[in-house]
Amino acid sequence: MIGVVGGGQLAMLLIEAGKKRNVDVVVQTAAKTDPAAKKTNQIILHDPTNPEGTKLLAEKTRLITFENEWVDISSLLSLENNGVSFVPRLQSIRPLINKITQRELLNSLDIPCPDWLAIPLKKSSEIDLPADWGFPLMAKAAKGGYDGKGTKIIKNLKQLQEFLLVEREEQWMLEKWISFDKELSIVSSRDSKGIVRSLPIVETYQSKQVCDWVLAPADIKHDVELMVRNIAASLLAELEYVGVIAIEFFYGSEGLLVNEIAPRTHNSGHFSIDACSSSQFDQQICIASGINVPMPEMLVNGALMANLLGLQSNYATSLTQRLDDLRGIPGLNVHWYEKEEEKKGRKLGHVTYLLKNKDALSRKKEALDVLQTIRSIWPTS
């Protein structure tokens, strides 16, 4: 039996993977209506950030893993010091829960990433930008940002000055704007023996700074693929990391740059549930429960994954009808998160379609044709 801190869709998908391995999963979550709470037999009804809840979780499980990186390391260290096992270890997660410490880690390892600088917490109308920086700029919250939240595109000096004058308690950073050709992602795992395994590298497509759809595998040259895999392996080894990790990249005229790192399962790896011999969730379950970890092989020529985000409340077609229409598409796998309420922009589910074409160009055309059908039923938010 293993524990998961968090009760959203990532925890729910971990529970489903655990059932296939006869591994029971207990979740620490705030509400019985959360997606994971509906799938598990045991719940620790505490907010996931509450260390007292995690202590109760530890009493029921052999090992604890995390749904997301919003954890208070200092409050959990006493549990780890008293014998509670976490996967990944808290020390491995520590530099990854903050985008600034992520960048400091990358810089220390000479792993390429966009130029950046921390915004001082003290209110000011000025900041010394490097001479080669122009507008637009990207501002990112150091902690807690996801699905477009915690980010802001700054288009000119006036917007920058206004942004700097806002009183904030949380740290932010500024990032040089990157023009790229592709956004890539890799989900990798490292087991307790130090063996690294990776899913196929994928190309991700965004809409309003939220992942819209994913194409697997990415159409990239062999040397780019090798560099992506080497960066993942290097980071996992440096952190002595055990568990699943996701790394997002920009690729274009400035080369390959690490954008963000997530110390957990990730939206860009959802295709693996239907397309691979071992999904990202299966990898995490096996590592956390001590089962021999299989190599995740692609079982098909390719896969499309598309997110289903909540639409406006007055949308013409009902949610039930949209789901029925999607389930009527031959070959489409619908994964529904059973969230209580449809809110605009909220991740409610995803769909996967297994692609038949062998060459990359035909595969992408096939994916776009299917995506057009999906979006005619369920448009982007």
pLDDT for 147 equals 65
Q: Which residues partner with 347 through β-bridges?
A: 309
Q: What is the pLDDT along the chain (381 residues), one digit of tens a residue?
A: 999 999 999 999 999 999 999 999 999 999 999 999 999 999 999 999 999 999 999 999 989 999 998 888 988 999 999 899 999 999 999 999 999 999 999 999 999 999 999 998 877 778 889 999 999 999 999 987 666 678 999 999 999 999 998 877 789 999 999 999 999 999 999 999 999 999 999 999 999 889 999 999 999 999 999 999 999 999 999 999 999 999 999 999 999 999 999 999 999 999 999 999 999 999 999 999 999 999 999 999 999 999 999 999 999 999 999 999 999 999 999 999 999 999 999 999 999 999 999 999 999 999 999 999 999 999 998
Query: Cα separation of 327 and 354, whole Å?
Result: 15
User: Three-class SS of residue 18?
Assistant: helix
Whose CA is closest to 105, among 232, 194, 235? 235
Enumerate the H helices of the chain as residue ranges. 9-20, 51-60, 73-81, 90-93, 99-108, 157-164, 222-238, 272-275, 280-289, 319-327, 360-377
Residue partners of 322: CB distance under 8 A and separation at least 6: 377, 378
pLDDT for 124 equals 78
Whose CA is closest to 96, among 246, 273, 270, 291? 246
Residue type at position 145? G
DSSP letter for each residue of 125-176: S-----TT--S-EEEEESSS--TTTTEEEE-SHHHHHHHHTS--SS-EEEEE
Residue type at position 131? A
pLDDT for 209 equals 86
Query: Cα separation of 211 and 147, whole Å?
Result: 7
Query: Cα separation of 308 and 343, whole Å?
Result: 11
Whether 243 and 287 have beta carbons less than 8 Å apart is answered as: yes
Q: Dihedral sign, CA of 143, 33, 349, 57? A: positive
pLDDT for 303 equals 98
Query: Cα separation of 381 and 365, whole Å?
Result: 23
pLDDT for 174 equals 96
Q: In whole angstroms, how far apart are CA 77 and each of 7, 60, 83, 380?
A: 22, 18, 10, 41
Query: What pTM value is reported for the model?
Result: 0.96
pLDDT for 71 equals 84
pLDDT tens digits for 312-359? 999 999 999 999 999 999 999 999 999 999 999 999 999 999 999 999
Whether 65 and 86 have beta carbons less than 8 Å apart is answered as: yes
Write out the two tokens for 276: 């691979």
pLDDT for 40 equals 95
User: Three-class SS of residue 193?
Assistant: coil
Residue partners of 75: CB distance under 8 A and separation at least 6: 51
Write out the two tokens for 279: 């999904």
**Phi, psi values for residue 206, rounded to 5°:** -105, 155
Whether 67 and 263 have beta carbons less than 8 Å apart is answered as: no
Please classify residue 22 by burial: count the beta carbons closer than 10 Å to its beta carbon, then call 0-12 exposed, 13-18 middle and 19+ buried: exposed
pLDDT for 179 equals 93
Query: Cα separation of 372 and 163, whole Å?
Result: 38
